Chain A
Amino acid sequence: MWWKIDPIPHQELEDWERALVRCENRAKRDLEARAAGVFVIYELDGVLGYVAGREAPDGAYLVERWVRKKKGWTLYE
Protein backbone atom coordinates (compact mmCIF):
# COMPACT_ATOMS: atom_id res chain seq x y z
CA MET A 1 0.00 0.00 0.00
CA TRP A 2 1.21 3.52 -0.76
CA TRP A 3 0.92 6.39 1.64
CA LYS A 4 1.10 10.08 1.04
CA ILE A 5 2.55 12.08 3.92
CA ASP A 6 1.61 15.75 4.00
CA PRO A 7 4.13 18.40 5.02
CA ILE A 8 3.63 20.21 8.32
CA PRO A 9 3.06 23.95 7.86
CA HIS A 10 5.81 26.03 9.46
CA GLN A 11 3.06 28.12 10.98
CA GLU A 12 2.08 25.23 13.22
CA LEU A 13 5.57 25.04 14.68
CA GLU A 14 5.86 28.80 15.01
CA ASP A 15 2.48 29.15 16.72
CA TRP A 16 3.34 26.44 19.22
CA GLU A 17 6.77 27.91 19.98
CA ARG A 18 5.29 31.39 20.44
CA ALA A 19 2.73 29.98 22.87
CA LEU A 20 5.55 28.23 24.72
CA VAL A 21 7.61 31.39 25.03
CA ARG A 22 4.57 33.35 26.27
CA CYS A 23 3.98 30.66 28.88
CA GLU A 24 7.64 30.72 29.98
CA ASN A 25 7.59 34.48 30.34
CA ARG A 26 4.40 34.45 32.39
CA ALA A 27 5.77 31.73 34.66
CA LYS A 28 9.07 33.58 35.20
CA ARG A 29 7.11 36.59 36.50
CA ASP A 30 4.75 34.50 38.61
CA LEU A 31 5.26 35.11 42.33
CA GLU A 32 4.46 31.54 43.32
CA ALA A 33 6.93 30.16 40.79
CA ARG A 34 9.59 32.61 41.94
CA ALA A 35 9.04 31.63 45.55
CA ALA A 36 9.21 27.92 44.72
CA GLY A 37 12.33 28.46 42.63
CA VAL A 38 11.11 25.96 40.08
CA PHE A 39 8.23 25.67 37.63
CA VAL A 40 7.17 23.34 34.87
CA ILE A 41 5.52 24.01 31.56
CA TYR A 42 3.01 21.32 30.73
CA GLU A 43 0.63 20.49 27.93
CA LEU A 44 -2.87 19.24 28.65
CA ASP A 45 -5.41 18.59 25.91
CA GLY A 46 -3.26 20.55 23.50
CA VAL A 47 -3.08 23.64 25.71
CA LEU A 48 0.14 24.85 27.33
CA GLY A 49 0.20 25.92 30.95
CA TYR A 50 2.61 26.30 33.83
CA VAL A 51 2.63 25.46 37.49
CA ALA A 52 5.05 26.21 40.32
CA GLY A 53 6.89 23.12 41.52
CA ARG A 54 8.64 20.20 39.91
CA GLU A 55 5.70 18.10 38.71
CA ALA A 56 3.15 18.56 35.96
CA PRO A 57 -0.51 18.02 36.94
CA ASP A 58 -2.04 14.56 36.57
CA GLY A 59 -2.86 13.74 32.99
CA ALA A 60 -0.63 16.49 31.61
CA TYR A 61 2.79 15.94 30.18
CA LEU A 62 5.84 17.85 31.05
CA VAL A 63 7.27 20.02 28.30
CA GLU A 64 9.97 21.93 30.18
CA ARG A 65 11.26 22.29 33.72
CA TRP A 66 12.87 25.59 34.75
CA VAL A 67 14.90 26.09 37.93
CA ARG A 68 15.80 29.47 39.39
CA LYS A 69 19.49 30.15 39.73
CA LYS A 70 21.22 33.23 41.13
CA LYS A 71 21.17 35.11 37.86
CA GLY A 72 17.89 33.89 36.47
CA TRP A 73 16.12 30.79 35.25
CA THR A 74 17.78 27.71 33.78
CA LEU A 75 16.03 25.19 31.54
CA TYR A 76 16.50 21.59 32.67
CA GLU A 77 14.11 19.68 30.42
Chain B
Amino acid sequence: MRDDDLRAAMSFFAERLRGADLSEARLLRWTRHKLRSDARAVAELMLTVGYRPTFIRYFLRYHIPEINKNAAVGEMYIDPGAAPEARLGLCWRLDEHVLTVYTDLHAAAKRLKQPYRDLAAVCLRWGYVHETVVRLLAKTLERKPRNVVED
Protein backbone atom coordinates (compact mmCIF):
# COMPACT_ATOMS: atom_id res chain seq x y z
CA MET B 1 0.00 0.00 0.00
CA ARG B 2 1.28 3.46 -0.81
CA ASP B 3 2.36 5.37 2.24
CA ASP B 4 0.05 8.34 1.66
CA ASP B 5 -2.93 6.01 1.20
CA LEU B 6 -2.07 4.18 4.40
CA ARG B 7 -1.69 7.49 6.27
CA ALA B 8 -5.04 8.70 4.93
CA ALA B 9 -6.73 5.49 6.05
CA MET B 10 -5.06 5.63 9.47
CA SER B 11 -6.16 9.24 9.96
CA PHE B 12 -9.69 8.34 8.95
CA PHE B 13 -9.91 5.48 11.45
CA ALA B 14 -8.17 7.45 14.19
CA GLU B 15 -10.70 10.22 13.72
CA ARG B 16 -13.57 7.76 13.98
CA LEU B 17 -12.15 6.29 17.19
CA ARG B 18 -12.62 9.57 18.95
CA GLY B 19 -10.59 9.87 22.09
CA ALA B 20 -8.87 6.49 21.82
CA ASP B 21 -5.23 6.55 22.87
CA LEU B 22 -3.56 4.51 20.15
CA SER B 23 0.09 3.97 19.36
CA GLU B 24 1.01 4.07 15.69
CA ALA B 25 1.53 0.30 15.63
CA ARG B 26 -1.92 -0.37 17.11
CA LEU B 27 -3.56 2.09 14.75
CA LEU B 28 -1.79 0.53 11.77
CA ARG B 29 -2.91 -2.97 12.76
CA TRP B 30 -6.46 -1.79 13.38
CA THR B 31 -6.55 0.09 10.05
CA ARG B 32 -5.51 -3.01 8.11
CA HIS B 33 -8.07 -5.07 10.00
CA LYS B 34 -10.86 -2.62 9.15
CA LEU B 35 -9.83 -2.34 5.49
CA ARG B 36 -10.12 -6.09 5.11
CA SER B 37 -13.09 -6.88 7.29
CA ASP B 38 -15.48 -3.94 7.26
CA ALA B 39 -17.12 -3.11 3.94
CA ARG B 40 -18.96 -0.17 5.40
CA ALA B 41 -15.80 1.36 6.81
CA VAL B 42 -14.01 1.03 3.46
CA ALA B 43 -17.00 2.54 1.69
CA GLU B 44 -17.04 5.47 4.12
CA LEU B 45 -13.32 5.89 3.66
CA MET B 46 -13.72 6.15 -0.11
CA LEU B 47 -16.66 8.51 0.17
CA THR B 48 -14.58 10.71 2.46
CA VAL B 49 -11.05 10.51 1.10
CA GLY B 50 -11.79 9.57 -2.50
CA TYR B 51 -11.74 6.53 -4.72
CA ARG B 52 -8.04 5.77 -4.51
CA PRO B 53 -6.71 2.63 -6.22
CA THR B 54 -5.58 1.15 -2.90
CA PHE B 55 -9.03 1.38 -1.39
CA ILE B 56 -10.75 0.13 -4.56
CA ARG B 57 -8.38 -2.84 -4.47
CA TYR B 58 -9.43 -3.69 -0.92
CA PHE B 59 -13.10 -3.26 -1.76
CA LEU B 60 -12.84 -5.56 -4.77
CA ARG B 61 -10.79 -8.25 -3.10
CA TYR B 62 -12.39 -8.47 0.31
CA HIS B 63 -15.87 -7.02 0.09
CA ILE B 64 -17.30 -7.73 -3.36
CA PRO B 65 -17.07 -11.53 -2.80
CA GLU B 66 -18.77 -11.09 0.57
CA ILE B 67 -21.55 -9.00 -0.96
CA ASN B 68 -22.10 -11.66 -3.61
CA LYS B 69 -21.92 -14.48 -1.09
CA ASN B 70 -24.55 -12.87 1.09
CA ALA B 71 -26.93 -12.24 -1.76
CA ALA B 72 -29.66 -14.83 -2.04
CA VAL B 73 -29.87 -17.19 -4.98
CA GLY B 74 -31.30 -15.32 -7.94
CA GLU B 75 -29.77 -12.07 -6.74
CA MET B 76 -26.19 -12.98 -7.46
CA TYR B 77 -25.76 -10.59 -10.33
CA ILE B 78 -26.15 -7.23 -8.73
CA ASP B 79 -25.49 -4.83 -11.52
CA PRO B 80 -27.02 -1.55 -10.29
CA GLY B 81 -27.96 -0.77 -13.88
CA ALA B 82 -30.24 -3.78 -13.97
CA ALA B 83 -34.00 -3.53 -13.59
CA PRO B 84 -35.01 -2.29 -10.11
CA GLU B 85 -36.80 -5.50 -9.22
CA ALA B 86 -33.64 -7.47 -10.03
CA ARG B 87 -31.62 -5.63 -7.42
CA LEU B 88 -34.26 -4.83 -4.88
CA GLY B 89 -33.32 -7.73 -2.66
CA LEU B 90 -29.71 -6.73 -2.52
CA CYS B 91 -30.51 -3.08 -1.95
CA TRP B 92 -32.30 -4.05 1.21
CA ARG B 93 -29.27 -5.90 2.44
CA LEU B 94 -26.58 -3.38 1.69
CA ASP B 95 -25.67 -0.48 3.89
CA GLU B 96 -26.32 2.85 2.17
CA HIS B 97 -22.62 3.71 1.96
CA VAL B 98 -21.66 0.32 0.58
CA LEU B 99 -24.42 0.49 -1.99
CA THR B 100 -23.31 3.97 -3.08
CA VAL B 101 -19.72 2.86 -3.58
CA TYR B 102 -20.85 -0.29 -5.33
CA THR B 103 -23.10 1.71 -7.64
CA ASP B 104 -20.35 4.24 -8.36
CA LEU B 105 -17.90 1.48 -9.25
CA HIS B 106 -20.42 -0.10 -11.61
CA ALA B 107 -21.19 3.24 -13.22
CA ALA B 108 -17.47 3.90 -13.69
CA ALA B 109 -16.97 0.43 -15.14
CA LYS B 110 -19.62 1.10 -17.77
CA ARG B 111 -17.75 4.21 -18.89
CA LEU B 112 -14.54 2.34 -19.63
CA LYS B 113 -13.49 1.50 -23.15
CA GLN B 114 -13.30 -2.08 -24.29
CA PRO B 115 -11.84 -4.48 -23.42
CA TYR B 116 -11.67 -2.93 -19.95
CA ARG B 117 -15.43 -2.46 -19.69
CA ASP B 118 -15.97 -6.22 -19.88
CA LEU B 119 -12.98 -6.88 -17.70
CA ALA B 120 -14.28 -4.47 -15.06
CA ALA B 121 -17.65 -6.24 -15.09
CA VAL B 122 -15.83 -9.49 -14.33
CA CYS B 123 -13.85 -7.84 -11.53
CA LEU B 124 -17.02 -6.47 -9.95
CA ARG B 125 -18.82 -9.75 -10.38
CA TRP B 126 -16.13 -11.93 -8.81
CA GLY B 127 -14.05 -9.56 -6.71
CA TYR B 128 -11.06 -10.00 -8.97
CA VAL B 129 -8.31 -7.38 -8.66
CA HIS B 130 -7.01 -6.44 -12.10
CA GLU B 131 -4.51 -3.65 -11.70
CA THR B 132 -5.30 -1.81 -14.94
CA VAL B 133 -9.01 -1.94 -14.20
CA VAL B 134 -8.41 -0.65 -10.68
CA ARG B 135 -6.36 2.24 -12.01
CA LEU B 136 -8.94 3.10 -14.68
CA LEU B 137 -11.81 2.95 -12.18
CA ALA B 138 -9.90 5.22 -9.81
CA LYS B 139 -9.20 7.67 -12.62
CA THR B 140 -12.84 7.69 -13.67
CA LEU B 141 -13.95 8.28 -10.09
CA GLU B 142 -11.22 10.67 -9.03
CA ARG B 143 -13.61 13.59 -8.87
CA LYS B 144 -15.94 11.72 -6.55
CA PRO B 145 -14.95 12.63 -2.95
CA ARG B 146 -18.05 13.72 -1.06
CA ASN B 147 -18.72 16.12 1.72
CA VAL B 148 -19.04 14.36 5.01
CA VAL B 149 -20.84 15.46 8.13
CA GLU B 150 -19.17 14.35 11.34
CA ASP B 151 -21.14 13.89 14.52
Map CB proximity to B onto A41-65 as digits: 1 under 8 Å, 0 otherwise: 0010010000000000000010110
Nearest opposing residue in chain A for B65, CB measure? A59
Map CB proximity to A onto B126-151 as digits: 1 under 8 Å, 0 otherwise: 00000000000000000000111111
Of A8, A20, A61, chain B has the most CB atoms within 10 Å of the CB of: A8
B2 within 8 A of A: no
B79 within 8 A of A: no
Contacts A6-B151, A8-B13, A8-B17 given; indicate if A16 touches B44 (C-beta within 8 A). no
Nearest opposing residue in chain A for B48, CB measure? A5
For A, the interface residue count at a CB cutoff of 8 angstroms equals 18
Query: Are A46 and B37 in contact (CB-based, < 8 A)?
Result: yes
Contacts A10-B19, A17-B26 given; indicate if A4 touches B33 (C-beta within 8 A). no
Within 8 A of B (CB), among A2-37: 2-8, 10, 13, 16-17, 20
Does more than half of chain B's interface fall in helix, strand or loop, or is it mixed? helix
Of A5, A6, A13, chain B has the most CB atoms within 10 Å of the CB of: A5
Map CB proximity to A onto B89-132 as digits: 1 under 8 Å, 0 otherwise: 00000000100000000000000000000000000000000000
Nearest opposing residue in chain B for A47, CB measure? B37
Contacts A8-B17, A10-B20 given; indicate if A3 touches B147 (C-beta within 8 A). yes
| Interfacial residues, chain A to chain B (CB-CB below 8 A) | 1-8, 10, 13, 16-17, 20, 43, 46, 61, 63-64
